[in-house]
């Protein structure tokens, strides 16, 4: 079946530095990718929607200059957390939507990336 891969699965960075998380669709072309954040014991919250070749659409309250999203190809989207702070520590999950098909049943999630800012 379709696979979405995230890398790294875990990362620790120092406060003030930037960290990049990659999301790849391994066996299908993803016209749209979604980035979610999940704090412990809470549900997933959508951060942004990225469409291949265009600027990402950010949800209300998400700083676009802090969470840089690039979707340069149909198989790769990246999320860069800039000037990271300890409160950015969270579980970041991407999902990808394939071309065509009913929009509701072609969404695949990655395994997530744990970010710890120290």
112 binds other proteins (CB under 8 A): yes
Q: Spell out the residues 6+ positions from residue 101 whose beta carbon is closer than 8 angstroms to its own.
A: none
Residue 31 to residue 11: CA distance in whole angstroms: 27
CB of 83 to other proteins, least distance (A): 26
Residues in region 33-62 near other proteins by CB under 8 A: 34, 42-46, 49
Q: Spell out the residues 6+ positions from residue 26 whose beta carbon is closer than 8 angstroms to its own.
A: 2, 3, 4, 5, 75
17 binds other proteins (CB under 8 A): no
64: left (phi over 0), alpha (psi -120 to 50) or beta: alpha
- Would you state the structure tokens that stand for residue 37, as one six-digit string? 């954040």
87: helix, strand or coil: helix
Site string for other proteins, 81-100 (x = CB under 8 A): ----------x-x-x-x---
29 binds other proteins (CB under 8 A): no
CB of 39 to other proteins, least distance (A): 11
103 binds other proteins (CB under 8 A): yes
Give the binding site for other proteins (CB under 8 A): 6, 32, 34, 42-46, 49, 91, 93, 95, 97, 103-105, 107-112, 114
């Amino acid at each position: 079946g379709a696979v979405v891969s995230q890398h790294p699965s875990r990362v620790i960075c120092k406060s003030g530095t930037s960290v990049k998380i990659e999301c790849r669709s391994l066996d299908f072309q993803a016209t749209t990718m979604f980035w979610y954040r999940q704090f412990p014991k809470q549900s997933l919250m959508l951060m942004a929607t990225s469409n291949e070749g265009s600027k990402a659409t950010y949800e209300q309250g998400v700083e676009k200059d802090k969470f840089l999203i690039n979707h340069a190809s149909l198989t790769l989207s990246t999320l860069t957390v800039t000037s990271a702070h300890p409160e950015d520590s969270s579980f970041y999950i991407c999902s990808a939507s394939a071309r065509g098909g009913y929009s509701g049943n072609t969404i695949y999630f990655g395994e997530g990336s744990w970010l710890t800012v120290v």
